[in-house]
Amino acid sequence: HAHEPIFAIPFSPAGYEKYGAHVTRRRLSQLRHLYGDPVAVDQILAREDPVVYEVYEMPYPYRETDLLINITVLYPGRVGGEPYMTKGHFHAEPDTAEAVIGLEGDGEMLLQRRDGELRKVPVSEGTISYAGGGWAHRVVNTGSRPLVFFAVSGANIVHDYETAERLNFS
């Protein structure tokens, strides 16, 4: 059964990359709508278009009974007064849980339900944070080092970025 992956790789972005991970790089120009200060965004983009975060994922044709296991590197930085953050999303149809294990750095996960209820939990080296189904989640780097975290969820998730963007964790 070629579609049932088996592997053992180092638990780090470099290890993932060595074993052929697909890397998605998100730059500020793709994320400008996340920040409240458009002038600050334009000032940075006039000089450079920094990589805000990278997601490392093993390139398998996941079936819905598999597990998605990503590593994200969220760089330190600020836009106006706001720290670098991921876009954030719901897992829709079905709402599926996710565990996040901090590997390096310091930050927080913001969680928001569709009714607007908002929570915050730490994501730091040595923490495991759990977001049950129905909670949109965004990670924020509040420190001065890269925040590196591992995320595992069911592979049946559908990323719903639109609803999370509308609520905007505010």
Query: Measured from the CB atom, is 43 or 69 closer to ligand S6P?
Result: 69
Site membership for Zn ion, residue 108 (CB under 5 A):
no
Which single residue is written with the structure tokens 């049950």?
A: 132
- Residue 77 CA to its chain's centroid (Å): 15
What is the smallest separation between the CB atom of 159 and Zn ion, expressed in angstroms?
A: 7
Site residues for ligand S6P, 126-145, by CB under 6 A, read 137, 139
Query: Measured from the CB atom, is 17 or 95 closer to Zn ion?
Result: 95
> 69-81 burial string, b = 16+ CB within 10 Å, else e?
bbbbbbebbebee
How many other C-beta atoms lie within 10 A of the C-beta of residue 153?
19
Q: Do the Cβ atoms of 126 and 102 come closer than 8 Å?
A: yes
Site membership for Zn ion, residue 71 (CB under 5 A):
no
Among 41, 44, 54, 72, binds ligand S6P (CB under 6 A): 72
- Residues interacting with ligand S6P, by CB under 6 A? 55, 70, 72, 86-89, 98, 137, 139, 151, 153, 157, 159
